[in-house]
Amino acid sequence: MNALTQLSEEERMFQEAVRDFAETEVRPRVQAMEKAAQLDPALIPKFFELGLMGIEIPEAHGGAGGSLFMTVLAVEELSALDASVAIFVDVQNTLVNALLLKWASDDIKQRYLPKLCADLVGAYALSEAGSGSDAFGLATKATKRGDTWILDGRKLWITNGADAGFFVIFANTDFAKGYKGITAFAVERGFKGFSVGKKEDKLGIRASSTCELILEDCRVPKANVLGEVGKGYKIAIETLNEGRIGIGAQMLGVARGAWEYASKYAQERKQFGKPISDFQGIQFQIAQMATEIEAARLMVYNAARMKDAGMNFVKEAAMTKLFCSQVAERVTSLAIEIYGGYGFTRDYPVEKYWRDSKIGKIYEGTSNMQLATIAKLVMGGK
Ligand SMILES: Cc1cc2nc3c(=O)[nH]c(=O)nc-3n(C[C@H](O)[C@H](O)[C@H](O)COP(=O)(O)OP(=O)(O)OC[C@H]3O[C@@H](n4cnc5c(N)ncnc54)[C@H](O)[C@@H]3O)c2cc1C
């Protein structure tokens, strides 16, 4: 039997490659990207070159032929330095590529998967101004006209919106059928009637673009329906179940990054004539943080391995996202305290981790939504 944290040779080499990439390419850019509130465009082709944008796509379609486990390894490594870079890669792999791999026709796979591995950035558009937790209350409408679907509506909060050329968009084809009218469409940025609207000015993950999408008489060819008409609700839920493991990995990385800074700082900062790490009060905080990070990592690894093994992982994925986002918020907050006054300033790195941690409790289902899923499953539907 293997320990959860025992990596195969391939996994270990991949993890090291991402760690090296993060150190050499991401770390030097973090502060500037945070200030500019955008990813450095020079980084994007590098993600593709390293194979980070098509981790689970089979080699036949130009991908790395890897696993969700490898995706979470990458997301953790990137998040330890910058959660915005990590979510860019995470959305592509766990939401866009995963959805296409599971639900798209062979024709769509052939048309888009090689591009998604080469230079096409993807986004996943479910939320709207009026429908977040109640995602199936979406108001975007799809009307059939000959061989074309006409989409009308607005999407809000769409990660990678500013950078993406490919969008999975959920719209309702028949409101009379309620959520059973929801359908997923593959929409290219250049389709007539599609445009990207306002970019949000956010508390955290500032370098990640979060945009409104505008669909005005947007023409989508019939062949670009993802899965079946009316099955979008199932596609949306099942994709997000997997995505939540990725967010768990993001929060794990955020917690780890802040912890690494705090534990190093504690050994350098002197008060009362000795490093503050000599005080048991600080040692215990650092030990508690390390323990919570280890627990978070085991949940992420286990949920990803369950998915890769074809097991049912819905409860574990919800628990992972819930717990990892709590750990991230606690650990990053303590990291600021360990830095004292310096931690409260933008001249030191830890306050950014704390701001970046907050999103973990909100996107891909708020913590309350995860608790609702967990409660339903652990109480046997009662
Ligand atoms: C930075 C960022 C990036 C995002 N990226 C994407 C993306 O790429 N694609 C996408 O589709 N969406 C994206 N989202 C949207 C995100 O998924 C939603 O914000 C989230 O699902 C919550 O929806 P809401 O904001 O409408 O909050 P609401 O649903 O209005 O929730 C408000 C509060 O009410 C609580 N609540 C609501 N219903 C219940 C209930 N039944 N029981 C108990 N509590 C409840 C919630 O837990 C929350 O605390 C993103 C959001 C942000 C902020």
Q: How many distinct helices (H) and strands (E) make up the chain?
A: 12, 10
361/226 Cα distance (integer angstroms): 29
The residue to mutate among 121, 127, 163, 241, having the most atoms of ligand 1 within 8 angstroms of its beta carbon, is 127
**Cβ contact 141:156 at 8 Å:** no
Query: Measuring from atom 23 of ligand 1, which residue has the nearest CA?
Result: 132
**Cβ contact 316:322 at 8 Å:** no
**Considering Cα of 264, then 331, then 248, then 95, what sign does the dihedral take?**
negative
| CA 281–ligand 1 middle distance (angstroms) | 37
Q: Kindly state if the Cβ of 126 falls inside 6 Å of ligand 1.
A: yes
Nearest to 77, CA basis, from 8, 13, 19, 6: 19
Residues with Cβ within 8 Å of residue 303, at least 6 apart in sequence: 245, 248, 313, 316, 317, 319, 320
162/91 Cα distance (integer angstroms): 13
287/323 Cα distance (integer angstroms): 18
**Is 56 a catalytic site residue?**
no
| CA 131–ligand 1 middle distance (angstroms) | 8
* The overall pTM is greater than 0.95: yes
Q: What is the pLDDT of residue 382?
A: 52
- Taking only Cα atoms into account, the Rg of the chain, rounded to an integer number of angstroms, comes to 21
Q: Output the CA–CA distances (angstroms, integers) from residue 93 to 66, 109, 122, 220, 334, in the order listed.
A: 11, 14, 9, 23, 31
Q: What is the dihedral of CA 347, 351, 352, 353, to 10 degrees?
A: 140
Q: Kindly state if the Cβ of 125 falls inside 6 Å of ligand 1.
A: yes
Q: Kindly state if the Cβ of 363 falls inside 6 Å of ligand 1.
A: yes
196/190 Cα distance (integer angstroms): 11
314/324 Cα distance (integer angstroms): 15
Q: What is the pLDDT of residue 381?
A: 56
Nearest to 297, CA basis, from 285, 289, 308: 289
Q: Kindly state if the Cβ of 157 falls inside 6 Å of ligand 1.
A: yes
| CA 107–ligand 1 middle distance (angstroms) | 33
| DSSP reduced 3-state for 314 | helix
| CA 40–ligand 1 middle distance (angstroms) | 27
Parallel, antiparallel, or unpaired: how do β-strands 274-275 and 270-271 relate? antiparallel
Q: Kindly state if the Cβ of 171 falls inside 6 Å of ligand 1.
A: no
Tokens of 135: 């995602």
Q: Kindly state if the Cβ of 211 falls inside 6 Å of ligand 1.
A: no
Q: What is the pLDDT of residue 199?
A: 98
Q: Kindly state if the Cβ of 170 falls inside 6 Å of ligand 1.
A: no
Question: How does pLDDT run along the chain (382 residues), one tens digit per residue?
Answer: 789 999 999 999 999 999 999 999 999 999 999 999 999 999 999 999 999 999 999 999 999 999 999 999 999 999 999 999 999 999 999 999 999 999 999 999 999 999 999 999 999 999 999 999 999 999 999 999 999 999 999 999 999 999 999 999 999 999 999 999 999 999 999 999 999 999 999 999 999 999 999 999 999 999 999 999 999 999 999 999 999 999 999 999 999 999 999 999 999 999 999 999 999 999 999 999 999 999 999 999 999 999 999 999 999 999 999 999 999 999 999 999 999 999 999 999 999 999 999 999 999 999 999 999 999 999 985 5
Query: Measuring from atom 29 of ligand 1, which residue has the nearest CA?
Result: 133
| CA 134–ligand 1 middle distance (angstroms) | 8
| CA 169–ligand 1 middle distance (angstroms) | 17
Please report the atom of ligand 1 found closest to the CA of residue 125.
11
Please report the atom of ligand 1 found closest to the CA of residue 95.
8
Q: What is the pLDDT of residue 2?
A: 87
138/58 Cα distance (integer angstroms): 33
215/212 Cα distance (integer angstroms): 10
Q: Kindly state if the Cβ of 360 falls inside 6 Å of ligand 1.
A: no
**Cβ contact 353:276 at 8 Å:** no
| DSSP reduced 3-state for 201 | coil
Q: Kindly state if the Cβ of 132 falls inside 6 Å of ligand 1.
A: yes
Taking the CA of residue 54 as centre, how many other CA atoms within 13 Å lie in the half-sphere pointing to its CB?
Answer: 28
Catalytic residue among 56, 76, 242, 364: 364
**Cβ contact 140:152 at 8 Å:** yes
**Can you list the alpha helix ranges (DSSP code H) found in the chain?**
9-21, 30-36, 43-49, 68-81, 83-90, 98-103, 106-118, 232-268, 280-308, 314-339, 350-357, 367-378
Query: Measuring from atom 42 of ligand 1, which residue has the nearest CA?
Result: 368
Q: Kindly state if the Cβ of 250 falls inside 6 Å of ligand 1.
A: no
